[in-house]
Amino acid sequence: MSISLKQIRYFVAAAEAGRIGQAAVELNVSQSAVTAAIQQLEARLGTRLLDRAPSGVSVTLEGGRFLSQARHILASVAEAMRSTSASADSVSGTVRVGVSYTVAGYFLPRHHMRFARVFPKVQLELFEAQRDVVEQALLDGALDIAVILVSNVADRERIGCETLTRSRRRLWLAPEHPLMEREAILLADIASHPYVMLTVDEARHTAKRYWTSAGFEPNVIFRTSSVEAVRSMVAGNMGVTVLSDMVYRPWSLEGQRIETRLVEDDIPTMDVGLAWRHGQPSAPATDAFRNFLRFALTGVGNGRDGGSERSGGKPSIFEMSSSA
């Protein structure tokens, strides 16, 4: 039995959503189809990729290793399919792209490199700024599109957005931390321990929302805009934190191990996606960038509002290849 792209896409969707049902909704398929595809993938690989619990699914250690490769596979397929199209060489122009700190550091680089190889005549001009600055630049026409944390977009009336990937937030802690011995962890359990708060990309405001909703406050001993500082302090058992899988790395700069645990409370995912100004016409180069990212992350690429406007209703090469 071979591994299919469908199995890989379904696994990535479930891992990022944290729930099989939510992944099924995003993929527009049945929950049983997602479950069956992941079980077949696990059987083929001979290892468990996801841990199942009533609250959802979490990636195992082996699953985390495979998840990184799975994302690269999907992105490579997008590149290969797009590179076979003669239209790739005919697309040219400049795309002004706004990005936030997290996107610039942990999401966009690998996709940027692949896009540049597939569309050599398209130049991406990247501008890093805070979310509110990026929103205003979109409204002013200074940016063509943005790749930001769309879960934080404020002006939904004038700015359209779509999610490309959801990164689950988990508890980070040192291997010897006492919470490692707990079978189930709640924010109430975390509240009594020293906490390191990341402030960049509105992380502090996001954290405040779900902590307040749970009725607790973290015991913050240090606030920092540096993810590496958070990593070092957590690995050194100076405190714990709750951050997304996207920025997680198992080791600090000092080579100390960092573990993660699922938190049972309802903590929102960190959603990375595309944002644009409603009603703003898009150039072919912008469409190419948007569709490239959409296929790389979701397996489907077409017009930003769900249609194939430029192809007269015909499926794009991204859509045709998504059934593989």
- 33 and 108, same structural domain? no
Classify burial at 141, counting beta carbons within 10 Å of its beta carbon; exposed 0-12, middle 13-18, buried 19 or more: exposed
Domain-located, residue 316:
no
C-alpha span between 294 and 49 (Å, rounded): 24
Residue 82 domain flag: no
Let me know whether 150 and 182 are in one domain: no
Does 79 fall in a domain? no
How confident is the model over 199-246, as pLDDT tens digits? Answer: 998 899 999 999 999 999 999 999 999 999 999 999 999 999 999 988
Domain encompassing residue 109:
90-166+271-304
- What lies within 8 Å, CB to CB, of 142 at 6+ separation is 96
The pLDDT-based confidence of 299 (bands split at 50, 70, 90) is low
Q: Is the dihedral of CA 197, 148, 26, 2 positive or negative?
A: negative
Task: Supply the pLDDT for residue 80.
Answer: 66
- Looking up residue 143, the CATH number of its domain turns out to be 3.40.190.10
Same domain (yes/no): 176, 239: yes
DSSP H or E run through 251: none
Q: End-to-end CA distance of the chain, in Å?
A: 15
Highest mean pLDDT among 167-171, 190-194, 291-295: 190-194
- Tally of structural domains, the chain: 3
**22 is a domain residue:** yes
Asked whether residue 19 falls in the same domain as residue 99, the answer is no
Are both 160 and 284 inside the same structural domain? yes
Helices (H) and strands (E) counted in the chain, each on its own, are 13, 12
Q: Nearest Cα to 151, choosing from 216, 111, 209, 199?
A: 209
Q: Could you give the maximum distance between any two Cα atoms of the chain, in Å? A: 60
275 in any annotated domain? yes
Amino acid 305: pLDDT: 41
Q: Does a structural domain hold residue 40?
A: yes
Residue 157 is predicted with a pLDDT of 92
Q: What is the pLDDT of residue 4?
A: 86
- Spatial neighbors of 139 by CB under 8 A, at least 6 apart, are 155, 158, 159, 277
The residue among 296 and 38 whose pLDDT is bigger is: 38
**Does 124 lie in the same domain as 257?**
no
Q: Residue 19's domain is classified under what CATH number? A: 1.10.10.10
Q: Within a domain: residue 64?
A: no
Q: Does the residue 256 lie in any domain?
A: yes
Mean pLDDT, all residues of the chain = 85
Q: How confident is the model at residue 85 (pLDDT cuts 50, 70, 90)?
A: low
Cβ neighbourhood burial of 91 (10 Å; 0-12, 13-18, 19+): buried
Tell me the C-alpha distance between 228 and 322, whole Å: 37
- Residues 50, 192, single domain; the answer is no
Check whether residue 275 and residue 291 sit in a common domain.
yes
Q: What is the pLDDT of residue 187?
A: 97
User: Cα 80 vs. chain centroid, distance in angstroms?
Assistant: 22
